[in-house]
Amino acid sequence: MPQLTVHKKSSNLWFRMVVPARLRAKIGKTEIKFSLGTANPSEAKIRHNAAQMEWGQRFLELDREAEFENLARAPQLVEQTLAVLSRDHRRDDTVLGAMKVLSFRLVTSWGRDFYDRSEAEYAFGGRPDEEYWSEPDVEIDIVPMSQRQKHVARVTAHERSPGKQGMGHRLAVLSLLKAQRWDLLEPEVMVVEAITGVTISKGTALYGAVAAAFLKALADHEFSTWTEGSMAAFRADFPVAALNVGQTLEPAQPIVAAVPVPTGRAATPLSKALEKWREMQQPAKQSDVEVSRAVDRFIEFFGDKAVGAITATDIFNYRDLVQKMPANLQLKKVHSANKTLKQVIEEVGPGIRRLTATSVKKDLGGLQAVLSVARSEQMITVNGNRCTDPTWTGSLVALFCYGSCERN
């Protein structure tokens, strides 16, 4: 956890923050430490909070960079996986097996009665045993009910011909690509994760990119047994162009849970958290002025929100607004002119002096000082080094507990 420390060769207080292990190669350090330029505890605390905010954001940015790098690697991860799976046999066999599994998963999700009625056993070479049907899968609805009988008939017709083997099961792959139902490929993504050693968490952009790349690799594979005639017959039966399979697929965005309505201590308004900060910190007059000003500005922009409802997005939006503010702008004068702070910011023309970067950092540091107290008072829930707040993805923890909290 970032902390104020002393240095035997300096009279000033120092900032220290451990660099997460995953980012040490990028940053080139195991720890961030520097003098805060003051021995005054109150002033040092504000500067410390600003530095913690700055480095927390930097860590977030580096994590995003790493994620984008992984997204670009998705096709490579899939190719590595298919290559490993094909070591002892032909790539045709690997791809056919993968497509058949997806095709079978799709058709069996439509139920036992449909499987028997459509004679799907001829498409898959048999029927599942009684135990398989004891725990039915959730129905996969990417093929309309009115088209399902025809879908199975197509699969059966294509898979019966050696020159078309794979074309039938490829229908399921193309349907999944069209629907972009990456969630249905969890077993396949787990295989990619196991073979490559790259962590791929469900619901992340990387998961979506790998799932899309896996389907694309299967759809693009041309079997050695295919002929021009069989390919032409397939295109006539199921036009690939209509599915836009060749287009660039956007990776699925991370799933972010909605922020629930705060209850209990998490429902404490930010203004009350400010009062608690004063009570606990007994700040010097100047520190009180700076911190109160930051809280008042936040409330002006977003209302007196419950601390448990304030998200990382709120903080970033607040920072962006403060950066646009004219220097020496007083909230009382804004209100006396019957305007809001946002209106004043929007009306600012070119050439007007704005807040300096140092002032913005100090403002954010003041806001974070209050939220740190809220966290210590369990208004923002943490437990040891693990964050128990269910909205971690979008919560303040992502900004203010960055180095010490893990995703649940």
Query: pLDDT tens-digit profile of 45-60?
Result: 888 888 888 888 888 8
CA distance 182 to 192: 14
Q: Quick one: angle between helices 357-376 and 285-302, nearest 10? A: 90
Q: Percent of the chain having pLDDT more than 90?
A: 19
> For 23-80, what is each residue's pLDDT tens digit?
888 888 899 989 988 999 888 888 888 888 888 888 887 777 776 666 778 889 999 9
The residue with tokens 């209302």 is 303
**pLDDT band at residue 141, thresholds of 50, 70 and 90?**
confident
Q: Check: CB of residue 355 under 8 Å from CB of residue 365.
A: no
Which tokens sit at 340?
């809001």
Rounded mean pLDDT, 81-92: 90
pLDDT number for residue 199: 84
**pLDDT band at residue 1, thresholds of 50, 70 and 90?**
low
**pLDDT band at residue 4, thresholds of 50, 70 and 90?**
confident
pLDDT number for residue 71: 72
Residues near 357 by Cβ (< 8 Å), separated by ≥ 6?
A: none
CA distance 274 to 193: 46
- Name the β-bridge partners of 35: 14
The residue with tokens 């220097």 is 327
What Cα–Cα distance (Å) separates residue 258 from each residue in 253, 314, 337, 402? Answer: 14, 14, 37, 20
Give the range among 71-75, 142-146, 268-272 with minimum mean pLDDT: 71-75
Burial pattern 291-301, b for ≥16 Cβ within 10 A else e, equals bbbbbbbbbbb
pLDDT number for residue 302: 87
Q: Percent of the chain having pLDDT more than 70?
A: 82
Which helix (H) or strand (E) segment is 391 a member of? Answer: none
Q: What amino acid occupies position 28?
A: G
Helices vs. strands in the chain: H and E counts, helices first: 18, 5
Domain residue spans of the chain: 3-65+259-400, 89-243
Which helix (H) or strand (E) segment is 11 a member of? Answer: strand 10-18
CA distance 120 to 115: 5
Going by C-alpha positions, the residue among 291, 299, 263 that lies closest to residue 275 is: 291
**Average pLDDT of every residue of the chain:** 78
Residues near 15 by Cβ (< 8 Å), separated by ≥ 6?
A: 2, 4, 5, 32, 33, 34, 35, 36, 47, 48, 51, 52
What Cα–Cα distance (Å) separates residue 373 from each residue in 3, 55, 192? Answer: 14, 19, 43
Most confident of 2-6, 23-27, 133-137, 246-250: 23-27
Q: What three-state secondary structure class fits 15?
A: strand
Q: Check: CB of residue 232 under 8 Å from CB of residue 97.
A: no
Q: Where are the beta strands (DSSP E) in 83-216?
A: none
Q: Is the pLDDT of residue 389 over 50?
A: no
pTM: 0.48
Length of the chain: 408
CA distance 400 to 60: 11
